[in-house]
Amino acid sequence: MKSETKKTILLAEDDDNLRRVLEFQLSEAGYKILTAPDGAQALEVFTNNDFDCVITDLRMPKLSGLELLEKIKLLNPEIPVIVITAFGEVETAVSAMKAGAFDYINKPFNRDEILLTLERALNFSETKNENRRLREIIKKEFRIENLVGDSLPMQAVLSVVERVSRSDATVLIAGESGTGKELIAKGIHFSGKRKNKPFVAINCAAIPENLIEAELFGYKRGSFTGANLDTKGKFENATDGTLFLDEISAMPLLLQPKLLRVLQEQEIVRFGESNPRKIDVRIIAATNQNLEKMVEAGTFREDLYFRLAVVPVNLPPLRTRREDIPLLVNHFFRRAKEKHGFEDLKIEREVAGVLTNYSFPGNVRELENLIERMVVL
């Protein structure tokens, strides 16, 4: 079981024979190993080198494995630590897990056991690092200053978006299909204080009416056929973050009072339950319909509309801000080149001029798809 890249492991073990055996086995498996015979020396080695994982015995002189774990986690909270325990040390192992250990191995153990545990720890760490990297990319991508638009209509929108991102106010984004309503919602989320928490999106028009309640609020086990487990809904999945309700106009009229209760009380009731659950979620809704007319027609609750439209944001169609088209062309062209690996590709200046004269009924989405198609073909 060879490691794909040369990972560096710190091995802290006071038993000379076991330390030598483990060092040999791990080195043979393709890992770079640095060792220490006690906790104090292990801490010194750790502070002077970069490691991908730490394996430590719990019982060691000068500094126990548990104390070493706690000090390592202060220095690097993300590094996975595997602890080695002797028979009868289960309580100490549990304490180590509570202190942040990735896993523990009981003595005696074989070569495959230690290698499998190490591989799991490294894979888990790499996944966390990749997720963190992607989150940083997303946060950077969707910050307000990266939203494209120099026209007066878009500058007015971005000014409102920038101010509202500092608050927890409920926002209603209105605009034609393809104008970038979800992009604006992400801009608000990733520029605000909830940016490190979940951004959860749901298209209310894409879910059958008989399923949307369970999808939003979650459900109790046994509450309907196929409900085999207690399940969280989108509101709970978005805890401490933002829930983006796209196409809010499609929300069934019978379900609208439940949504109103969430906005008023910050609590939800799972389908099949009766006790409310407190939540802390910011709500951003979007629509391509005229909700005021729907209120007049009796197909959308007036009180819900006013609760959603605390801060209304109206996105202009692309045909009313043609001066933004050259900026958007360059932006989408650069992204499409990076996405498909055509870094040397150039775009003629005349292209933006031609596109500026087109009305784009599909708005920004249509322009983005067109540019990507040009890059690929």
Q: What is the pLDDT of residues 166-214, one digit of tens each?
A: 999 999 999 999 999 998 999 899 888 999 899 999 999 999 988 999 9
Q: Are 356 and 326 in contact (CB under 8 A)?
A: yes
pLDDT value of position 3: 44
Query: Tokens at residue 359, please?
Result: 């009305």
Residue 89: pLDDT over 90: no
CA distance 232 to 95: 29
* Domains of the chain from N-terminus onward: 8-136 (3.40.50.2300), 142-316 (3.40.50.300), 320-376 (1.10.8.60)
pLDDT single digits (tens) 95-117: 888 888 898 888 888 888 899 99
Q: What is the pTM of this model?
A: 0.65
Contact present, 172 and 287 (Cβ < 8 Å): yes
DSSP state of 80: -
Place of tokens 């031609």: 354
348 confidence band (pLDDT: 50, 70, 90):
confident
Go through 245-255 and write b for each residue having 16 or more CB atoms within 10 A of its CB, e for each that does not: bbbbbbbeeee
What is the C-alpha to C-alpha distance for residues 345 and 148, in angstroms, rounded to an integer? 22
Q: How many CB atoms lie within 10 A of CB 99?
A: 15
Q: What is the pLDDT of residue 271?
A: 92
Rounded Cα–Cα distance for residues 66 and 94 (Å): 10
Write out pLDDT tens, residues 256-282.
999 999 999 999 999 999 999 999 999
Residue 343 has pLDDT above 80, yes or no: no
pLDDT band at 1 (very low <50, low <70, confident <90, very high): very low
Alpha carbon 170 to chain centroid, angstroms? 21
pLDDT for position 2:
44
pLDDT classification of 80: cutoffs 50, 70, 90: very high
CA atoms within 13 A on the CB side of 298: 0
Check residue 142 and give its pLDDT.
63
| Cα–Cα distance list, 282 to 70, 194, 308 (Å) | 35, 9, 11
Give which of 217, 254, 257 is closest to 238, Cα–Cα: 217
3-state helix, strand, coil in the chain (%, to 5): 50, 15, 35
Q: What is the mean pLDDT of residues 131-145?
A: 59
Neighbours of 170 (CB within 10 A): 16
* Residue tagged 């500094």 (tokens): 63
- By DSSP bridging, strand 267-268 and strand 277-278 are antiparallel
Mean pLDDT over 211-240 rounds to 92
pLDDT at 352: 79
Alpha-carbon distance of 42 to 139, in angstroms, equals 37
Secondary structure (3-state) at 180: coil
pLDDT reported for residue 336:
87
Q: Is residue 234 over pLDDT 60? A: yes
pLDDT bucket at 87, cuts 50 / 70 / 90: low
Degrees (nearest 5) of the Cα angle 50, 124, 51? Answer: 10
Q: Residue range 292-314: average pLDDT?
A: 97
Q: What is the mean pLDDT of residues 11-21?
A: 91
Total H helices, total E strands in the chain = 15, 12
Tell me what the mean pLDDT of segment 18-36 comes to.
92
Q: CA neighbours within 13 Å on the CB side: how many for 116?
A: 6
pLDDT higher than 90, residue 227? no
Res 138 pLDDT > 90: no
**Among residues 11, 12, 16, which one has the least CA distance to residue 27?**
11
Residue 367 vs residues 145, 343, 345: alpha-carbon distances, Å: 21, 20, 18
